[in-house]
């Protein structure tokens, strides 16, 4: 047997181990989307960036645990059935009295969307306290809120890798996380990528149709976006994040290959109607 074959076999075993032992905890909202396209077509559909990422990621075979909440209204019943029909391994979605998050999404002729809040989310009542997080796991705060700081510490105390949304950049209470995912607009004014790397080991900066850049201790890597006919951009960011998380769960890192996978999945998503990224194939 050649040394290269031994190395390949070892890598394969490591991948199998991670897939069996690594769970991804997705913390974020589930919502109902009321969409209206520029041609007058209207669609009612499940959504919410947290649920979108959890469902898409679970379709890859990754063990996903979704932490969110549901209300006691009719839309919550529909969303509950929607989540239970997915590949998500475990749902932590307690009922909080009142309506679930509900948004209106007008989509223009270029596929660009605007989000108008009808019923706001109650993420301030969502917590990781008591959740069985293990050291091999990944904990993702899709949307960062300041009250998640205690939950971030829970994840870090368990030894899990942590991924935070862009709002953590402006939260001085967040001293460190493994990955921060943000848009180019987040790094304007007093916030620079160079300074942020003192707090976040790796940073992914998305820049819409232009692409995205990964920054880390070893430098940066730019991933251009694919050119496609855009129908609806609603789930583009969710698909991109799902691709990154899938690669991270399997390979233990986010690198150039992860960025390429994420860009491909994002392009596929914007070329279809819907906020949930198409099933991973």
| Domains of the chain, start order | 28-270 (3.40.1190.20)
According to the model, what pLDDT value does residue 234 have? Answer: 67
Give tens-digit pLDDT for 238-279: 999 999 999 999 999 999 999 999 999 988 877 776 556 666
3-state SS class at 17: helix
Buried b (16+ CB within 10 A) or exposed e, 244-258: bbbbbbbeeebeeeb
Q: What tokens does 281 get? A: 């194939």
**Of 167, 121, 125, which is closest to residue 142 (Cα–Cα)?**
167
Express each pLDDT in 196-218 by its tens digit: 999 999 999 999 889 999 999 99
Distance from C-alpha of 122 to C-alpha of 101, rounded to nearest angstrom: 8
More confident residue, 2 or 179: 179
The mean of the pLDDT values for the chain is 88
Tell me the percentage of the chain whose pLDDT exceeds 70.
88
**DSSP structure class, residue 210:** G
pLDDT at 164 over 50: yes
Q: What is the pTM of this model?
A: 0.87
Phi first, then psi: what are they for 4, rounded to 5°?
A: -65, -35
Give the model's pLDDT for residue 31: 95
Give the Cα separation of 281 and 277 in Å (integer).
11
- Name residues whose C-beta falls within 8 Å of residue 50's C-beta, 6 or more positions apart in sequence: 26, 27, 28, 29, 30, 66, 68, 142, 143
């Amino acid at each position: 047997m050649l040394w290269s074959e031994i190395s390949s076999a070892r890598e394969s075993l490591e991948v199998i181990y991670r897939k069996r032992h690594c769970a991804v905890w997705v913390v974020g909202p589930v919502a109902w989307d009321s969409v209206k396209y520029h041609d007058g077509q209207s669609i009612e559909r499940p959504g919410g960036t947290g649920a979108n990422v959890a469902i898409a990621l679970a379709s890859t075979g990754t063990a996903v645990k979704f932490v969110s909440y549901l209300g006691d209204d009719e839309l919550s019943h529909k969303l509950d059935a929607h989540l239970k029909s997915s590949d998500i391994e475990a749902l932590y979605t307690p009922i909080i009295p009142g309506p679930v998050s509900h948004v209106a999404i007008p989509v223009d002729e270029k596929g660009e969307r605007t989000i108008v809040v009808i019923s706001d989310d109650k993420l301030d009542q969502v917590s990781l306290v008591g959740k069985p997080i293990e050291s091999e796991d990944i904990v993702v705060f899709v949307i960062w809120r300041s009250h998640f700081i205690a939950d971030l510490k829970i994840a870090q105390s368990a030894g899990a890798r942590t991924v935070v949304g862009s709002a953590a950049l402006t939260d001085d209470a967040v001293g460190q996380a493994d990955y921060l995912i943000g848009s180019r607009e987040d790094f304007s004014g007093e916030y620079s990528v160079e300074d942020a790397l003192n707090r976040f080991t790796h940073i992914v900066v998305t820049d819409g149709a232009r692409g995205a850049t990964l920054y880390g201790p070893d430098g940066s890597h730019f991933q251009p976006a694919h050119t496609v006919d855009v129908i609806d951009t609603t789930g583009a960011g969710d698909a991109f994040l799902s691709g990154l998380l899938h690669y991270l769960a399997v390979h233990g890192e986010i690198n150039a290959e992860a960025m390429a996978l994420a860009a491909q999945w994002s392009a596929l998503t914007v070329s279809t109607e819907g906020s949930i990224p198409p099933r991973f194939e």
